[in-house]
Amino acid sequence: MSKCSFKKCLAVVAVGGGVLVLVLTAKRRSSGGEAGSAEPGATVWDKMEQAMAGMPETFPPRIMFDNIAAIRQDTTRLIEMLEPRPAQPLEEPDDAS
């Protein structure tokens, strides 16, 4: 059995780490999510929704999934409310004096 030098072992570990990063990036992109994004892709979210639909309502992962869906809807609604609207001209009060 031959011993590998420290430099050779370090090179093998570095190459292996690089390959791992490439594989994970390719997998994430193919699953519908953007690389570096914590947001799941639409296909992943749809699959999770289908899987959770068959679970009992008291199942903790189902409760968590339902809460996440409600939070996403509320966030979308709040963002729409905060979007700038076109300025409306102020109505001047009529002086009846």
Residues of the chain scoring pLDDT < 50: 1
From residue 27, alpha-carbon distances to 12, 24, 36 in Å are 22, 5, 12
The confidence score (pLDDT) of residue 36 equals 52
Strands annotated E in 7-74: none
Q: What is the DSSP string of 7-20?
A: HHHHHHHHHHHHHH
Q: Where are the domains of the chain?
A: 7-36, 40-83
pLDDT digits (tens, 9 = 90+) for 1-16: 456 688 887 778 887 8
CA nearest to 29, candidates 18, 19, 40: 40
Residue 74 is predicted with a pLDDT of 94
Report pLDDT for 1.
45
Contact 50, 65 (CB under 8 A): no
Q: Is the pTM of this model over 0.75?
A: no
